[in-house]
Amino acid sequence: MNAGDESTQLNTGYTRELAMVSWFARVNYDYAGKYLLEGNIRADASSRFAEGNRWGYFPSFSGAWRISEEGFMEDAKGWLNNLKLRASWGLLGNQDALDDYYPSKNTYQVDATYPFNGTLNSGYYQSEYKLESITWEKSRTWGVGIDATINNKINVTVDYYDKKTTGIIMDVSVPEEFGLDPYKDNVGAMSNRGVELILSYNNRWGDWSFGATGNVSYNKNKILDLGGVESMADPNNSNKYRKVGEAINSYYMYRTAGLFESDEAAQAWMDQYVDQDGYPFGTAEFKGGDVIIVDVNGDGKITSDDRDFAALQTRLGHTD
């Protein structure tokens, strides 16, 4: 509909289709309420991917040992109401990074115009490059954990996890000479490893009750591979960068060392750096109270090479 002559066109519109097919199976085993096992398998197919890459198969397994139900724990049951050790391994697929219904098919825009014989004519063009090889992003996760309940009031949960994501779906930066927009591809791998502790307390006194929950977690994210390159810019945010060994989409920023205490201190800093080759701040003037940019690489200049990675990895929380 959008391919009509704009001078006479009254309506706009489009049509698209997205379809998925999935199946799932699960097996559970429970022996004496002490030994628990579970196995799952799911398969998903998405119309977003080309033939031969549509299906993804994702198994998972988990097990638990209720140590508090063992005979040798009888003497502790008066205060230790529950003690369980858990372990799991699983594989998951993801396509949520795709905002295109047809990421594996080259499509064309029909809003082009060009002059011919003195008149403006309509036409079409390709704005994006698509890869038929694009497929599911896959995440492998394994973890161990322990749950404990003490005096029916205090609950403690501790988890350690290790997650590795491969075939990450992301925008691949392209040079201007490429002539098309950045394209999506399964690029590289990254890991997430961390620990989470949850502690809660619940009690009741007659008609009164009280409960509080707190948690602390630590996660270490690291890019393991970028499809053979050492680093690449984030095509959607010039302040972010991707580099092997760093957290994904870390902010790539100038480091600072406090604030200028006076206009004189700011001017002395400018006198040292502003005339150096590669100075990135143009004619901007620094004043007292502005941040002090650090010469990170120690070359006596302030340039774009003095940017460094910054990422926050720790999270705290609580619930009353």
- CATH number of residue 69's parent domain: 2.40.170.20
CB 197 within 8 A of CB 212: no
pLDDT at residue 250 greater than cutoff 80: yes
Least confident stretch, 129-143, 160-174, 205-219, 224-238:
224-238
Rounded mean pLDDT of 51-61? 95
Confidence of residue 313 (pLDDT cuts 50, 70, 90): very low
The answer to whether 249 touches 221, Cβ cutoff 8 Å, is no
Average pLDDT, the chain: 88
| Rg value, the chain, Cα | 29
| Residue 95 token pair | 């396509």
pLDDT band at 154 (very low <50, low <70, confident <90, very high): very high
Output the pLDDT for position 164.
97
Residue 216's pLDDT is 95
Question: Would residue 111 count as lying in a domain?
Answer: no
* Residue 184 falls inside a structural domain: yes
Dist CA 161 CA 143 (whole Å)? 4
Residue 291 belongs to some domain of the structure: no
What's the rounded Cα separation, in Å, for the pair 311 and 223? 13
Residue 302 belongs to a domain: no
- At 268, which helix (H) or strand (E)? helix 263-273
- Give the range of the structural domain holding residue 184, as residue numbers without chain letter: 20-96+132-251+310-319
pLDDT at 8 over 60: yes
Backbone phi, psi, residue 282, to 5°: 55, -130
CB 220 within 8 A of CB 193: yes
Tens of pLDDT, residues 288-310: 999 999 998 889 999 988 888 87
Confirm whether 246 is domain-assigned.
Answer: yes
Whether the per-residue pLDDT at 167 is higher than 80: the answer is yes
Residue 289 inside a domain? The answer is: no
Please say whether the beta carbons of 136 and 94 come within 8 A: yes
Q: Count the domains in the chain.
A: 1
User: Residue 85: which pLDDT band, with cuts at 50, 70 and 90?
Assistant: very high
Cβ atoms of residues 186 and 135 within 8 Å: yes
pLDDT at site 61 = 98
Whether the per-residue pLDDT at 319 is higher than 60: the answer is: no
What's residue 314's pLDDT?
A: 41
Burial category of 48 from C-beta neighbours within 10 Å (exposed 0-12, middle 13-18, buried 19 and up): buried
pLDDT of residue 231: 84
**Residue 320 pLDDT more than 70?**
no
Q: What average pLDDT score do residues 113-119 get? A: 84
Residue 294 included in any domain: no
- Closest among 153, 155, 162 to 214, alpha carbons compared: 155
Give the span between the Cα atoms of 48 and 101, in whole angstroms: 6
pLDDT at residue 177, rounded to an integer:
79
Residue 31 located in a structural domain: yes
- Provide DSSP, 165-186: EES-EEEEP--GGG-SB-EEEE
pLDDT of residue 318: 44
Mean pLDDT of 136-163: 97
pTM over 0.85: no
